[in-house]
Amino acid sequence: MSYSVKEIFFTLQGEGANSGRAAVFCRFAGCNLWSGREPDRSSAICRFCDTDFVGTGGVGGGSFADAGTLAARVRAVWGDRGGGHRLVVLTGGEPLLQAGPELVAALHEQGFSVALETNGTIAAPDGIDWICVSPKAGSEIVQRRGDELKLVYPQQGISPELCEHWKFHHFFLQPMDGPRRRENTEAAARYCMQRPQWRLSLQTHKIAGFP
């Protein structure tokens, strides 16, 4: 199949258990919870997204004819950095609208561990090395197991208690960004101290000023 990708870039993972780790981010175009267009935000299931995933015009983005071609581009973006430990993060939008077993296999052939950031509404294919699910209120979550659950907090309609029994190794609360970010951070921190199953995840890439 072909792939529509908004952008591909090298950076440090800014969130969750892999925070601070070097990675290539491959951001797919499109999402099933919001069109990405502002006129549609008020009627979307996910109304707080802060990511541009519309089209293919971002840095390194484009249309890729097959999995091998896209995996080769990811490898080229990693470049000649030494030390191994190649990591690619498939994100979006919703990457599982496009990414499947063929792409995962092609990325493995290029020497990458494959991490996934998904909203959990589509079951993840076998072979992914790290699964991070960020559930959104009002959606049907079918991917209830993985490595990392990252709940944007607070969200009306979904609380940590609803998903704390899902099968994940790490549970994170990430304060919702926006005009109430400070209050949301304080609330998330208090919750994590009250229920230590949960850990606080800050968007360190925004704090440090990198992509």
The secondary structure of residue 105, as a DSSP letter, is H
Q: Look up 38 and say whether it is catalytic.
A: no
Is 49 designated active site? yes
Confidence band (pLDDT; 50, 70, 90) for 132? very high
For residues 134-139, average pLDDT: 98
> Active site includes 11?
no
Q: Please name every residue paired with 63 in a beta bridge, in sequence order, or none if there are none.
A: 4
**Average confidence (pLDDT) over 187-194:** 98
Residue 138: give the domain boundaries: 3-208
Residue 91 sits in a domain of what CATH number? 3.20.20.70
Would you say residue 104 has pLDDT above 90?
yes
Q: Mean per-residue pLDDT for 105-131?
A: 98
Report the mean per-residue pLDDT for the chain.
Answer: 96
Q: Is the dihedral of CA 179, 210, 70, 118 positive or negative?
A: negative
* Catalytic pick among 26, 46, 132, 192: 46
Instruction: Write down the pLDDT at residue 82.
Output: 83
Q: Are 200 and 172 in contact (CB under 8 A)?
A: yes
pLDDT > 90: what percent of the chain? 93
Q: Does the annotation mark 50 as catalytic?
A: yes
How many domains is the chain built from?
1
Lookup result for tokens 């993985």: 146
Q: What does the block give as tokens for 167?
A: 């099968």
Q: What confidence tier does 83 reach under pLDDT thresholds 50, 70, 90?
A: confident
Q: Which of 26, 49, 132, 192 is catalytic?
A: 49
Of 67, 87, 62, the C-alpha closest to 1 is 67
pLDDT higher at 163 or 207: 163
